[in-house]
C-alpha cells in the first residue's frame, strides 16, 4: 500500500496560482515605490490615459507660452529703456530750443542737436542678442534708419531715411491670444528727426545759430522748431506709456500661464503619481502575503496520511 500526500493536484494548482498572483502584486508595488509612478505603461493607467495625455499636453503648451512670453517681456523691457531715452532726448531738444529762443542766444544749441541725433540714431538701429534690428518691423536684417549725420536729413524727405517694414512683431501668450510687442523705427523716430532737420535748416549758413540770435532767428526757433520738438516729446511719451502697458500685460500673462502649467501638472500627478505612504504599506502587505503563500504551499507539500495516522507503540 502507498501513502499518498494529502494535497491533491487541483489544490497544488490553486496554491501555485496564489503564489503567482501574490508575486505579481509584489512586483507591481515594488515598481511603484521605486519609480513613484502608478504604472510604467498605459495599461496600468487604464481609462485615465486620455485625461492624463490631455493634461500633460496642456501643461507643455502652457510652459511653451510662458517661455515665449518671457522672451517678449525681455524685449519689451529693453524697448522701455530705449523709448525712455528717446523721450528724454526729445525733451532735451525741446528745452534747448526753448532756452535759446527765450535768451536770444544759441550758443551750444547745434552741438546739442548733433549729440541728440547720434544718440537717437543709435537707438533706432539697435539690435537684439541675435543681431536683429529691434525696430526693423519684420525686416530684422535691414538697418531701419539710414541717415548717418544730421546734415544728411536735408537731402530728402524724412520718411526716405526709414527702411523698416510695416509688420509689427507679436507673440502668442495663449490659445488664440496674441499681444503686439513690436515698435517701428519710423513710428518713434520720424517726429524727432523732423524737428532736428528743421533746426539744422535754420542754422543757415552753418554756425549762424551759434551765439547771439536775431529776432527772426528766435522767432523761427519758437514758431517752427519748438512745436515740432514738443510734438516729438509728446509722441515718445505716449509710445513709452503704451510699451509699459504691454510690459505689464506680458507679466500677467506669464503668471497666468505658470498657474495653468502648475494646475495641469497637478492633474498629471494625481493620475500617474502613486501615494507613497499607501504604496509602502501595500508593499509590506504583499510581501507578507507572498511569504504566507509560500509557507502554506511548502507545508502542504510535506504532508501525507502518515501525519494523521495514530501512533503505534511497538512492544517486544
In which element (H, E) is residue 190 found?
helix 185-202
Residue 23 has pLDDT above 90, yes or no: no
Please report, rounded to a whole number, the percentage of residues in the chain having pLDDT higher than 90. Answer: 60
Rounded Cα distance between 242 and 247, Å, is 9
Residue 52: pLDDT band with limits 50, 70, 90: confident
Rounded Cα distance between 117 and 192, Å, is 9
Q: Are 255 and 174 in contact (CB under 8 A)?
A: no
Residue 205: per-residue pLDDT = 94
Residue 316: per-residue pLDDT = 47
100-140 pLDDT tens trace:
999 999 999 999 999 999 999 999 999 998 899 999 998 88
The overall pTM is greater than 0.75: no
Cα separations (Å) of 151 from 44, 148, 194, 201, 205? Answer: 76, 9, 12, 9, 12
For helices 49-103 and 185-202, what crossing angle results, to 10°? 10
Please report, rounded to a whole number, the percentage of residues in the chain having pLDDT higher than 70. Answer: 71
Residue 192 has pLDDT above 70, yes or no: yes
Residue 55: per-residue pLDDT = 82
Amino acid at each position: 500500500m502507498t501513502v499518498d500526500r494529502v494535497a491533491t493536484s487541483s489544490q497544488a494548482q490553486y496554491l501555485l496560482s496564489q503564489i503567482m498572483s501574490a508575486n505579481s502584486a509584489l512586483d507591481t508595488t515594488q515598481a511603484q515605490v521605486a519609480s513613484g509612478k502608478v504604472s510604467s505603461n498605459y495599461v496600468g493607467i487604464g481609462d485615465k490615459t486620455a485625461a492624463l495625455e490631455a493634461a500633460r499636453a496642456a501643461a507643455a503648451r502652457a510652459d511653451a507660452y510662458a517661455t515665449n512670453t518671457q522672451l517678449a517681456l525681455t524685449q519689451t523691457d529693453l524697448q522701455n529703456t530705449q523709448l525712455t531715452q528717446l523721450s528724454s532726448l526729445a525733451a532735451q531738444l525741446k528745452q534747448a530750443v526753448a532756452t535759446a529762443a527765450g535768451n536770444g542766444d544759441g550758443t551750444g544749441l547745434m552741438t546739442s542737436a548733433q549729440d541728440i541725433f547720434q544718440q537717437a540714431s543709435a537707438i533706432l538701429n539697435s539690435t537684439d542678442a541675435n543681431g536683429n534690428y529691434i525696430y526693423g518691423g519684420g525686416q530684422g536684417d535691414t538697418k531701419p534708419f539710414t541717415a548717418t549725420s544730421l546734415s544728411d536729413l536735408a537731402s530728402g524727405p524724412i520718411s526716405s531715411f526709414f527702411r523698416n517694414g510695416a509688420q509689427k512683431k507679436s507673440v502668442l501668450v495663449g490659445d488664440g491670444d496674441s499681444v503686439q510687442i513690436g515698435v517701428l523705427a519710423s513710428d518713434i523716430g520720424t517726429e524727432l528727426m523732423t524737428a532736428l532737420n528743421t533746426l539744422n535748416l535754420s542754422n543757415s549758413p552753418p554756425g549762424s545759430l551759434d551765439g547771439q540770435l536775431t529776432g527772426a532767428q528766435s522767432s523761427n526757433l519758437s514758431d517752427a522748431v519748438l512745436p515740432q520738438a514738443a510734438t516729438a516729446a509728446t509722441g515718445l511719451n505716449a509710445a513709452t506709456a503704451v510699451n509699459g502697458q504691454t510690459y505689464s500685460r506680458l507679466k500677467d500673462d506669464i503668471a497666468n500661464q505658470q498657474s495653468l502649467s502648475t494646475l495641469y501638472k497637478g492633474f498629471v500627478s494625481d493620475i500617474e503619481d502613486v501615494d507613497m505612504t499607501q504604496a509602502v504599506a501595500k508593499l509590506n502587505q504583499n510581501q507578507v502575503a507572498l511569504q504566507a503563500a509560500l509557507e502554506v504551499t511548502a507545508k502542504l507539500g510535506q504532508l501525507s496520511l502518515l501525519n494523521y495516522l495514530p501512533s503505534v507503540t511497538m512492544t517486544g
